[in-house]
Amino acid sequence: MTRNRNDDTLAYGRMQPHSRELEDAVLGAVLTDSSCIDVVMNNLIVDDFYFEINQKIFQIYQSLIEKRHKIDLVTVVTERKILGFTDIVNVTDITTIANKVSSNANIESHIEYLKSDSIKRSLIQISTEAITQAFNDETDSIT
């Protein structure tokens, strides 16, 4: 599921849980420190990222890993072209994420926070769908 900034609010007028800073820190850690690749890729999935651009960058990482290529600035920029993500992810976005990383020391904590936000968004989605169905007169409330 991809999300744009326009999708940030729910019918209840509240922001869905997310953190651009955490997402950028995790993705930047992978770009700047190869020791972070396994922990990030083994603990997160595309939908754990709220912003579409970060989902696409994560998909680029996945593609590079599947091809057994190294993840660095050059390979990421090249792979984004191959995957057709140039309209969503530009070179400046990638370099900005890489430059935002101050330390990779807390990568596990960052991942936990991202997972927590992702689970909360899933619960909100499921709950919203259940409420909508409950108010729908055509839906059998027993099933």
Contact 111, 23 (CB under 8 A): no
Residue bearing tokens 């922990």: 39
pLDDT band per the 50, 70, 90 thresholds, residue 6: very low
**What is the reported pLDDT for 93?**
94
pLDDT digits (tens, 9 = 90+) for 17-59: 999 999 999 999 999 998 999 999 999 999 999 999 999 999 9
Using the 8-state DSSP alphabet, how is residue 6 labeled? G
Q: What is the pLDDT of residues 114-138, one digit of tens each?
A: 999 999 999 998 988 888 888 886 6
pLDDT in tens, 60-77: 999 999 999 999 999 999
Q: Is 60 exceeded by the pLDDT of residue 141?
A: no
Q: So what's the pLDDT on residue 56? A: 98
Distances from the Cα of 98 to the Cαs of 14, 30, 76, 86, 91, in angstroms?
30, 9, 11, 18, 11
How far from 133 is each of 13, 119, 139, CA to CA, in Å? 20, 21, 6
- Give the tens place of pLDDT for each residue, 80-91: 999 999 999 999
Count of Cβ atoms closer than 10 Å to residue 74 Cβ: 9
Q: Work out the angle at residue 105's Cα, subtended by the Cα atoms of residues 99 and 73, and round it to the nearest 5 degrees.
A: 30
The pLDDT score that the predictor gives to residue 139 is 56
- The secondary structure element, H or E, covering residue 60 is helix 52-66
Q: What is the pLDDT of residue 1?
A: 43
DSSP, res 19: -
Q: Band of the pLDDT at 10, cuts 50, 70, 90? A: low
